[in-house]
Amino acid sequence: MKKVFGILTVLLVGLTVLSGYFFQAQLSPVLALIFQTGLVLFSAAGLIGIGYLLVLHIRRVIRGEKRIIQSVVLLIAFLIALIAGFVLTPQSTLYRDLILNVQIPVEASLLAVLAVTLLYASLRLIRVRGWTPMSIAFLGSAVFSLVLNSGLIQVSETSLGGRILAFLERLPLVGARGILIGMALGGLVMGLRYLLSLDRPYGGE
């Protein structure tokens, strides 16, 4: 019985939204309601996810498991952000500085570490992948893109060199288009499987 409810819900919502692509004007109020409900549901789901994260770390603290200090720090940081957010509001400059001056250094530094890691990976590229058409094309394209990005080669677009350069610059576009079409086909199949309830990620098996 619960399986039937799930299937009916998926079909009803999915078909209505799909119809909205064709009958936008006529279905506007219904789509607005669906959007409104989805907005609230996504937010509730996000809060539930945060709750699971907190429960995990609280359990770790209570049981005295490994790396308890990190969990305590996490919980304290959460409480500070939560209380400050309700007291100061997200529009407050102080609150904005509190959040961004932790997020930006940490995330940007993680990205900076990636630069060194990519450098090391570049050295081992051929050793790992070998001399295959794909690896040769990869290498050539990477070097060409890096040269172009660095501005070392600057030619007029109307010249022959410029046109050849423009042609070579469009080559990644070919593969990107094929990948995008492939991804779209995969997304289409996946979406249809969800709508037709061939796959039920929401349960109801």
Partner 1 sequence: MTISDYIWSLVGFLLTIMVLSYLVGDNFFFRLAVHLFIGLTAGYVAVLLVRQILLPQLVIPLVNGSSPQRFWLVLPLALVLLLLVGQIPKFSAAAIIPLAYLAGLAAAIVIGGAVFGTLLPQSRSILDAFDPGRWYALPEQTWLRILDAVVMLFGTVGVLSYFHFGRKIKRESQNDAGKRPLILEGLGKVGQVFIGVTLGAVFAGIFSTALIALIDRLVFIGEMLTRIFGGL
Partner 2 sequence: MPFLICPDCGAENPLTAEICQVCGASLADVIPMDMDNSEADDGENDEFTLFSAEDKDLPELLNDLKQDHEPAGGGLPEIDLAGEGESSEVDDTPEWLDVIRKRAHEELDAAGEMTQRIVAAQESLTRQNEEERADYASWIEELRKETREEAVSGTEGQEEEPLEGPAPEKAKKDWLSRVRKASGKLETHDEPNAASRNLLDWLVALEEEQTGGMPSGEAGVTQPVDLRQRAHADESTREVRVGDGAQQAVAPKRLDLSREEREQADLLATTIADESTARPVQPITFGRRRWWVEFILAFFLIGGICFVLFSGRLFLLPEPPVTSGGQAVLNSVADLPEDAELLLVFDYQPAFAGELEWVAAPVLEALPDSVKVSVISTSASGPLLADSMLERLEIIPAIDLGYLPAEAFGAYGLAAGLASTQAAEFLPKGASELFEGEFHGILILSDNAERARVWVEQLSVLTPETPLNLLVTAQAGPMLRPYVDSGQVTGMMAGISDAAGLETSRTQGPNASQRWQAYQVGLLTLIGVLILGVLLNLRGGATQGDDI
Binders of partner 2 in range 81-140 (CB under 8 A):
90-91, 96, 99-100, 103-104, 107-108, 110-111, 115-116, 118-120, 122-131, 135, 139
Smallest separation (angstroms) from partner 2 to the CB of 146: 5
Residue 77 contacts which entry, partner 2, partner 1, none (Cβ below 5-8 A, type-dependent):
partner 1
Mention every residue, 6+ apart, whose C-beta is less than 8 A from residue 106: none
Q: From CA 168, how far away is CA 145, in angstroms rounded?
A: 10
What DSSP line would sit under 76-115, residue for residue? HHHHHHHHHHHHH-TTSHHHHHHHHHHHHHHHHHHHHHHH
Looking at beta carbons only, is 63 or 67 nearer to partner 1?
A: 67
**Closest separation in Å from C-beta 205 to partner 2:** 24
Within 29-88, the residues that bind partner 1 by CB under 8 A are 33-34, 36-48, 50, 53-54, 67, 69-71, 73-82, 85-86
Q: How far apart are CA 147 and CA 154, in angstroms?
A: 10
Residue from 101, 155, 156, 161 that binds partner 1 (CB under 8 A)?
101
Contacts of 157 (CB under 8 A, 6+ apart): 163, 166
Name the one range near partner 2 by CB under 8 A: 4-12, 60-68, 151-159, 189-197: 151-159
Distance CA 147, CA 134 (A): 20
- Residue tagged 């304290």 (tokens): 76
Q: What are the distances in angstroms from CA 174 to CA 5, 161, 177, 186?
A: 44, 21, 5, 19
- Contacts with partner 2 by CB under 8 A lie at 17, 20-21, 24-25, 28-29, 31-33, 35-36, 38-39, 42-43, 46, 90-91, 96, 99-100, 103-104, 107-108, 110-111, 115-116, 118-120, 122-131, 135, 139, 142-143, 145-152, 154, 157, 170, 172-173, 176-177, 179-180
